[in-house]
Amino acid sequence: MTSELNRMTIAEARDGLARREFSALELTRACLEQIKLVDPKINAFITVCAREALAQAAAADRRLAAGDAPALCGIPLAIKDIYATRGVRTTCASKMLENFVPPFDATVIARLREAGAVFIGKANMDEFAMGSSTENSAFGVTRNPHNVERVPGGSSGGSAAAVAADECLGALGTDTGGSIRLPAAFCGVAGIKPTYSRVSRYGVIAYASSLDQVGPFAKTVRDAAILLRTLAGHDPRDSTCSARPVPDYEAALTGDVRGMRIGVPKEYFVAGMEPQVETAIRAALASYERLGAKLVDISLPHTEYAIAAYYIVATAEASANLARYDGIRYGLRVDADNTGDLYNRTRAAGFGTEVKRRIMLGTFVLSAGYYDAYYLKGQKVRTLIRGDFDRAFARCDVIATPVAPTTAFKIGEKMADPLQMYLSDIFTISVNLAGLPGLSIPCGFDRDGLPIGLQLIGAPFAEETILRAGDAFERTGAVKRRAAIL
């Protein structure tokens, strides 16, 4: 029995812990055992926090015994290594921060602590969240638990893989252009990127500030809803964080989608999509019709421009966000006899290839003479993309699309061609530009056993709607959660 605890959902574990069927310590140990067993094969973690996790679990057991268990008491989670964790090394998968130990917690980390969660470890990712495959990590590639020759998606690939491989019950990721939804799809788990401003970004190492958003991975939509309720809400430390009240997302999971209008954008079903992906998506749409939802044909005409606009806006912001890594106050330093060389060499040695590429692109699009042609243009196209969604949501409640045109690709396949890699995010990136919530759920498997993801996009702050839709599909049992093949 003990060895199976790590396979539980959060909802199941919550009940089991409450009934004292097992202890938080046993649950945490089961996850640590699993990590010992499988992580050498998939490398989902940069830092495993066994000692801290066991102490947190012991504390959770005391609270459970005292009968004052908060929402996530004793639930082991993996934390993307982009979150500042007080006293625990936080690398952002970069050599630049290899030895950086923050003296503070990110707001969501503090919230999870308060909710009694157990932090099992810091998950691998693309360096500074720049990538779609978790191959751009200074700490090695993370492998897809369904097929270790394949990527787990990125940038939150470690978090998704850890959940898929039952190394934890849930995980934290971040999503700037698809970095939760794509790995969720590739690894066959649920992942939600909430509305921009729904969750605090304080203490989340910034990639592109106007696009970054915090979100959970989980084995079920219900678990994602449980996690989101703790994460979301106003934070006086984040000026962009909304003060809207946080609904009880779990209560929204009624299973009832009758009358729900599901928009199907024609621009998301185009050449280049794998037929098996399209088949699975169409089958999911048919399920929704059987559940009483109504399919509506819609158009998001500026979809094809999203990647171009994104790579202007995101890299511009990134070029400034990453200027703080200068070798003076923390992080790597390559010594030199003047400050100019110190910067140049430190940054050359500390950043990986993709990070440098994006810093260069972002610096260029903001530089004198190019601002209007690139940066301003990107911002204007962003307006057009938002407008597409505004018009679409006048006609539907949810937009359903594939998460990606393909299933998980082979490790190394796209590393030589950055543009091809960028195109992996073609279906997820518009959602970030528009600041909308997007949920990724498994909706099938291809012939090779690789998961296929369905994306459900909502209007701003319509997390309840997309979670209800995702949960309703999950309840049909059309897709059985498939244990990773490890």
Q: Least distance in Å: CB of 461 to other proteins?
A: 11
Given the rule CB under 8 A, which of 9-17, 215-223, 282-290, 374-382 is the region that contacts other proteins?
374-382
Q: Which residues contact 157 (CB under 8 A, 6 or more apart)?
A: 44, 124, 125, 126, 133, 134, 142, 151, 183, 186, 187
**Cα–Cα distance between 328 and 380 in angstroms, integer?**
37
Binding positions for other proteins, 269-328, rule CB under 8 A: 302, 304-305, 307-309, 311-312, 316-317, 319-320, 322-324, 326-328
Size of site (CB under 8 A) for other proteins: 98
**One residue of 22, 45, 217, 343 binding other proteins per CB under 8 A:** 343
The single-letter DSSP state of residue 246 is P
Given the rule CB under 8 A, which of 37-45, 79-87, 134-142, 263-271 is the region that contacts other proteins?
79-87
The DSSP string of 88-132 is: B---TT-GGGTT---SS--HHHHHHHHTT-EEEEEEP-SGGG--S
Report the half-sphere exposure of 266 (CA within 13 A, side-chain side): 4
Q: Is 336 in the site for other proteins (CB under 8 A)?
A: yes
Retrieve residue 359's tokens.
């810093």
Q: Is 97 in the site for other proteins (CB under 8 A)?
A: yes
**One residue of 123, 206, 260, 454 binding other proteins per CB under 8 A:** 206
Query: In this structure, are strands 438-445 and 76-80 parallel, antiparallel, or unpaired?
Result: unpaired
**Residue 114: Cβ within 10 Å count:** 12
Q: Is 375 in the site for other proteins (CB under 8 A)?
A: yes
**Cα–Cα distance between 224 and 171 in angstroms, integer?**
9
Max distance between CA atoms of the chain, in angstroms, equals 71
Q: Is 379 in the site for other proteins (CB under 8 A)?
A: yes
**Cα–Cα distance between 396 and 85 in angstroms, integer?**
40
Do 31 and 120 touch, CB atoms closer than 8 A?
yes
Q: Is 452 in the site for other proteins (CB under 8 A)?
A: no
**What's at 336, amino acid-wise?**
A
**Cα–Cα distance between 201 and 435 in angstroms, integer?**
14
**Cα–Cα distance between 92 and 441 in angstroms, integer?**
26
SS3 call for 357? helix
Given the rule CB under 8 A, which of 20-28, 47-55, 251-259, 339-347 is the region that contacts other proteins?
339-347
Binding mask 242-271 for other proteins (x = CB under 8 A): xx----------------------------
Q: Is 62 in the site for other proteins (CB under 8 A)?
A: no
Clarify whether 179 is annotated catalytic. yes
Closest CA to 102 of 132, 75, 122, 124: 122
Please list the residues that pair with 213 across neighbouring strands. 175
**One residue of 2, 240, 254, 476 binding other proteins per CB under 8 A:** 240
**One residue of 101, 251, 483, 485 binding other proteins per CB under 8 A:** 101
Q: Least distance in Å: CB of 338 to other proteins?
A: 5
**One residue of 261, 294, 345, 475 binding other proteins per CB under 8 A:** 345
Backbone φ and ψ for 421, nearest 5 degrees, come out as: -60, -45
**One residue of 418, 475, 478, 481 binding other proteins per CB under 8 A:** 418
Q: Is 435 in the site for other proteins (CB under 8 A)?
A: yes
Given the rule CB under 8 A, which of 14-22, 47-55, 365-373, 395-403 is the region that contacts other proteins?
365-373
Binding positions for other proteins, 184-203, rule CB under 8 A: 196-197, 201-203
Clarify whether 155 is annotated catalytic. yes
Of 179, 197, 200, 242, which is the active-site residue?
Answer: 179
**One residue of 15, 371, 410, 448 binding other proteins per CB under 8 A:** 371
**One residue of 1, 4, 67, 239 binding other proteins per CB under 8 A:** 239
Binding positions for other proteins, 121-180, rule CB under 8 A: none
Name which of 204 and 398 has its Cβ closer to other proteins: 204
Query: In this structure, are strands 45-48 and 118-123 parallel, antiparallel, or unpaired?
Result: antiparallel
**Cα–Cα distance between 266 and 402 in angstroms, integer?**
12
Of 133, 155, 156, 319, which is the active-site residue?
Answer: 155
Backbone φ and ψ for 444, nearest 5 degrees, come out as: 155, 180
Clarify whether 80 is annotated catalytic. yes
Rounded (10°) angle between helices 10-18 and 50-66: 50
Q: Is 209 in the site for other proteins (CB under 8 A)?
A: yes
**One residue of 66, 271, 368, 394 binding other proteins per CB under 8 A:** 368
- Would you name the residues annotated as active-site residues? 80, 155, 179
